Amino acid sequence: MHLYSLSFLFVLLPLSALAYYAVGRRYKVLALFVISLYFMASLSYLGLAIMLASVIVDYLLSKPVYRYGKGHPAAKTALFVCAAKNILLFVALSSVSQLEYIAMPVGVIVYCFTSLGYVADLYNGETQPAPNFYEFGLFCCFFGKLYVGPIISYQNFSNQLKSFRPSMSKVSQGVVWLLHGLGKKVLLADGVTALCEEFRAIPTADKTVLSVWMLVVCAVFSAYYTLSGFSDMARGVGAIFGLDLPENFHYPLQAQSVTDFFSRFNISANRFVRKYIYQALGAEDNGPLSTTLNIMLITMLMGLWYGIRLNLLVWGSFLGVFIVLETLFEEGFQKIPLFFRYVYTFTMVILSFVWYSSFSLSQAGFYLQTMLGLRTVPLLQALSGAAYAPFVNEHCLYLLGSNWLLLAACALFCTSGVTSLGHRFQRRFAKTSVAVSLGANLALTGLVLTFLV
């Protein structure tokens, strides 16, 4: 029962909302925690058992951390065990899932690093302890954010619980965010992921320059719309239950630099890594060499955030090289005209996804060689007069011609253009914009349901 399933949208979500608002205020946290456990159980009993075991261990480890405080050997040991357990659990499950022994349980990285951040904040005296286990459990395991986050601090979460003020406006905004997230996932991400696989399925000898470029572009769109779609759904589900979850993807494909892209792509994960690792290493305060090493470490860790694969490590490293250059030569970089910064950033992001979208370094090398027009063709083709892979062929043109509308929609909605136009229209025609917005959301609802049925 995924967030994008009809059983969730028309059974579990409305029943859960009714139960949540029907119980008294003192029982709302417990009710929402039970709902979250049921949701995980509907996905995987094994995933539920792993999640509960992990969260219980972290809750118990947080006790000596808070009791003894920063610097005490017992607190240091508990924090170290918590960090080691969560990192090893993620690495182990990611590795085992790649060997196809089990499917990667939903939410592992979210609840592992959410609870690790909580224990670290307790150690540093930056937050108060959770009053009971089920509030801590809800903080780590709220079902809306299990897929990709966002990861938030316990201080932020507990403050929301203390000042809980239900309202129809927040619920309606949540429904809209949920709908938009569903649109991203069901209409755009699923479609462009399938198209990416069609480009990937083209025989090696028949791959052209344009087909590989389109394969990688589709992989970029697939990653963005899948991850941002789940994040929007998380915000929507959270708002329905009175929780304010932050935006996690802010139009990263219209970034002005690779550094800007990195800060817009999975914002909460980036913030987590910067706070607990980058700042602890001294950030950019210890000279160019330290800055370079710290940035490279952070970008490599962010690559591994999406899975324990060598290609993802290289993806993060590739982005890290340009972030280092932009950081060390920031003044000169800012003098480059904005248009050229956009072009440079988009090109580097696309090239970085050569590694993200490949399954091995050799495959990534093949893709990159083909994209740059450097791949030689087999001997029989060379005898016919073509020494290098052609720019395009009929198969590639067919795929582009039959999917141009999908690609155009992906290109359009990955920027803030539509949102900006909507805000301008709303300011100028306030009453009309309500009807237009309602009609657009109803049409989107119809499309989403059509694809889900």
Distance CA 229, CA 427 (A): 27
Query: 347-382 burial, b if ≥16 CB within 10 A, otherwise e?
Result: ebbbbbbbbbbbeeeebbebbbbbbeeebeeeeeee
CB atoms within 10 A of CB 202: 17
Q: Name which of 77, 82, 66 is nearest 140 in CA terms.
A: 82
Q: Under the phi-then-psi rule, with left for phi > 0, alpha for psi from -120 to 50, and beta for the rest, what region is 79?
A: alpha
> Above 70 in pLDDT, residue 281?
no
- Alpha-carbon gap, residue 388 to 115, rounded angstroms: 53
Structure-token pair, residue 384: 């016919």
Mean pLDDT of 24-28: 88
Q: Is the pLDDT of residue 380 over 50?
A: no
Nearest to 122 by CA among 84, 168, 153: 153
Phi, psi of 98 (to 5 degrees): -70, -30
Model confidence over 178-193: pLDDT tens digits? 999 999 999 999 999 9
Query: CA 279 to CA 275: how far, in whole Å?
Result: 5
Reply yes or no on whether the pLDDT at 144 is more than 50: yes
Given pLDDT bands bounded at 50, 70 and 90, which one contains residue 99? confident
26 exposed, middle or buried (CB, 10 Å; 0-12, 13-18, 19+)?
exposed
Q: Looking at residue 297, what is its pLDDT?
A: 85
> For residue 382, is pLDDT > 70?
no
Q: What pLDDT was estimated at residue 383? A: 47
- In angstroms, the first-to-last Cα distance of the chain is 14
| Nearest residue to 277 via CA among 314, 302, 257 | 302
Has residue 85 got a pLDDT over 90? yes
Would you kindly state where each structural domain of the chain is located, as residue ranges? 6-164
Q: How confident is the model at residue 279 (pLDDT cuts 50, 70, 90)?
A: low
In the chain, the percentage of residues whose pLDDT exceeds 70 is 94
Q: pTM for the whole thing?
A: 0.91
The answer to whether the Cα torsion of 411, 264, 315, 339 is positive or negative is: positive
Q: Is 33 exposed, middle or buried (0-12, 13-18, 19+ CB in 10 A)?
A: buried
Average pLDDT, the chain: 89
On whether the CB atoms of residues 44 and 105 are closer than 8 A, the answer is: yes
Has residue 357 got a pLDDT over 50?
A: yes
Question: What is the reported pLDDT for 433?
Answer: 85
Could you tell me if 248 and 149 are in contact, meaning their C-beta atoms sit under 8 angstroms apart? yes
pLDDT reading at 431 higher than 60: yes
For residue 306, what pLDDT is reported?
87
Average pLDDT over residues 35-42: 94
* Confidence band for 384, pLDDT divided at 50, 70 and 90: low
d(CA 244, CA 238): 6
More confident residue, 146 or 373: 146
Q: Is the pLDDT of residue 73 over 80?
A: yes
- What pLDDT is recorded for position 205? 82
How much is the average pLDDT of 416-436? 87
The pLDDT score that the predictor gives to residue 408 is 95
Mean pLDDT of 66-94: 91
pLDDT at 271 (0 to 100): 87
What is the number of other CB atoms lying within 10 angstroms of the CB of residue 69? 14
